[in-house]
Amino acid sequence: MLPVRRPTDVHTGLAVDEVARGSSGYPSRLLLLSDAPAVLWVRGRVPMDGGRAVAIVGARAASGAGCERARVLAADLAQKGVAVISGGAFGIDAAAHEGALAAAAAPTFAVLGCGVDVTYPDRHGPLFARIAAKGGLLSEYPLGTPPRAGQFPRRNRIIAALGDAVVVVEAAYRSGALITAALARSLGRPVAAVPGSNGTDRLLQTGHASPVTSAADVEEVLAGRRPVILDKAEPPPGTVASLVAALREGAATPAALSRSMGLPLPAIMAALVEAELDGWICRIPGNQYEVNRRGC
């Protein structure tokens, strides 16, 4: 059975395909789901069977550092020929898609909680057009289906199934990204998490995820090995090193660090972003920071 070709989408100039379960174009990974979609609507194409794919997910209201991590991780994985799967939302999802597109070495796919002809979020029109041109927009919802709250958690099972592993970059204690991680575990997919946010730290502390900080770590996870994240000795001399020293002396909030180090708050915030991005520190509840530990 061949996919059914629908009229061309006016936003991208691409035809919309209706790929039924059992047809030649239906992704075999989805057949692991007990409730595999009867039909996938596709702008672009579906992930290739046999190719490597990783789902990168996380918070919509993500930090700048978290988004940068997602972009770099996705770009590095794409350079290694790994397709990037995500949900097309603000924050970590968008950063992952953008990183993969910038690398231009492997496709990226967005699984939507609405029809593939509906742009949501509405300012993601240009991003979705680029995703569809290089990879694909996928949905189990028919054309014209508007976004509804209950549809987004449900689409997470498709994201989890399409990836050979799921990486959570940044998340709150309660988030859709953690739902995706739980769904991945139920399918026997490995789960990885980047240390440094409440949700990812929870995954690591409970043993539900392997710690990763790079594409090389993710490849270890894909190979069935738990990566070893080595503790760094000391940061090089400079503001970050002074910030780490102040944290070890007990200053934990940006305001306390500003007083301890005698630097204005904007300079402290910039140093915190740099130190967190480089893995020297991590955030903890209460707008506080601490020196990074394994699984921090």
116-134 pLDDT tens trace: 999 999 999 999 999 999 9
Nearest Cα to Cα of residue 157 among 131, 188, 179, 128: 179
Q: Is the pLDDT of residue 38 over 90?
A: yes
DSSP 83-94: EEEE---TTHHH
Confidence band for 10, pLDDT divided at 50, 70 and 90? very low
Q: Is the pLDDT of residue 27 over 90?
A: yes
The pLDDT of residue 284: 81
Beta strand 39-44 pairing with 15-20: antiparallel
Confidence band for 6, pLDDT divided at 50, 70 and 90? low
Greatest mean pLDDT among 11-25, 78-92, 252-266 lies in: 78-92
CATH of 239-291, one of 3.40.640.10, 2.40.50.140, 1.10.10.10, 3.30.200.20: 1.10.10.10
8-state DSSP, 148: -
Nearest Cα to Cα of residue 92 among 73, 107, 109: 73
- Least trusted range by pLDDT, from 3-12, 63-72, 75-84, 264-273: 3-12
Q: What is the CATH number of domain 4-222?
A: 3.40.50.450
Polymer length in residues for the chain: 296
What end-to-end distance do the CA atoms of the chain give, in Å? 50
Contact criterion met (CB below 8 Å) for 14 and 133? yes
Nearest Cα to Cα of residue 84 among 170, 165, 183, 202: 165
217 vs 144: CA distance, rounded Å? 40
DSSP bridge partners of 281: 291
- In terms of C-beta density within 10 A (0-12 exposed, 13-18 middle, 19 or more buried), how is residue 187 classed? middle
**145-166: pLDDT as tens digits:** 999 999 999 999 999 999 999 9
Parse the chain into domains and list their residue ranges. 4-222, 239-291
The pLDDT of residue 13: 57
DSSP bridge partners of 284: 288
**164-184: pLDDT as tens digits:** 999 999 998 888 899 999 999
The pLDDT of residue 296: 46
Q: Tell whether omega for the bond before 121 is within 30 degrees of 0, i.e. cis.
A: yes
> What are the φ and ψ backbone dihedral angles of 149, each rounded to 5 degrees?
-55, -45
